[in-house]
């Protein structure tokens, strides 16, 4: 069925908001346990509870072969030396891969192979497309000074597993060193 309401959706490239999409908003208090510097986290939380990011999910159909996508908007900022980040997740259906398209701003994705722990950071910015393979945990960070917006496209049946990351966190952190994002093993901080 070529339903025009399903075929075309408009998003706001500045706010990431979309007409009719389910918006999830995450504030600083929702990211407890994500940042390595817990003292800096608690101190920032005492000063306020800002919006860190929002994701609007477009899920037009959920049959075999269907695709879903989300428009993300991540604010700039840091806690300790770490950039504002998303919680990060694996897909519940582990083989599910995902494409991320940078729209605005200056971001980095942290990828971690679930089986081997191999980690890598990849730029996420306009005119760049990141392919996140299956079985790979992924987290987005804003390393710039303006809101980062992006689109992630994934199989409808991918699902989101946040709890595995919530338990163990990523093996590596991404911090600013001399103005540049650098990946460091959490144990070596």
User: Which residues would be at the binding site for Fe ion (CB under 5 A)?
Assistant: 98
- Which residues make Cβ contacts (< 8 Å) with residue 61, sequence separation at least 6? 6, 156
**CB 28 → Fe ion: shortest distance, Å?**
22
Contact call for residues 162 and 89 (beta carbons, < 8 A)? yes
Closest CA to 14 of 98, 92, 103, 78: 103
In the numeric block, which tokens belong to residue 188? 């070596």
Q: Which is nearer to Fe ion, 72 or 105 (CB)?
A: 72
Q: Which is nearer to Fe ion, 98 or 106 (CB)?
A: 98
- Separation of first and last alpha carbons in the chain: 53
**CB 160 → Fe ion: shortest distance, Å?**
7
Q: Which is nearer to Fe ion, 130 or 172 (CB)?
A: 130
Which residue's CB atom is positioned nearest to Fe ion? 98
Closest CA to 124 of 83, 168, 79, 177: 83
- Length of the chain equals 189
**CB 154 → Fe ion: shortest distance, Å?**
5
**CB 107 → Fe ion: shortest distance, Å?**
14
Q: Which is nearer to Fe ion, 80 or 152 (CB)?
A: 152
């Amino acid at each position: 069925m070529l339903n025009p309401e399903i075929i075309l959706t408009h998003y706001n490239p500045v706010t990431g908001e979309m007409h009719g999409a389910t918006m999830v908003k995450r504030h600083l208090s929702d990211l407890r346990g994500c940042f390595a510097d817990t003292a800096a986290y608690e101190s920032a939380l005492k000063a306020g509870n800002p919006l860190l990011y929002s994701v609007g999910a477009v899920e037009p159909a959920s049959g075999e072969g269907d695709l879903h996508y989300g428009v993300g908007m991540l604010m700039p900022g840091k806690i300790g030396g770490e950039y504002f980040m998303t919680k990060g997740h694996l897909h519940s259906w582990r083989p599910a891969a995902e494409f991320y398209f940078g729209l605005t701003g200056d971001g980095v994705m942290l990828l971690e192979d679930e089986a081997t722990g191999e980690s890598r950071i990849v730029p996420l910015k306009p005119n760049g497309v990141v392919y996140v393979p299956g079985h790979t945990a992924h987290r987005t960070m804003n390393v710039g000074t303006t809101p980062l917006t992006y689109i992630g496209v994934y199989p409808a049946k991918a699902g989101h597993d946040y709890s595995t990351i919530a338990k163990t966190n990523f093996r590596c952190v991404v911090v600013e060193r001399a103005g540049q994002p650098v990946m460091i093993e959490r144990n070596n901080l």
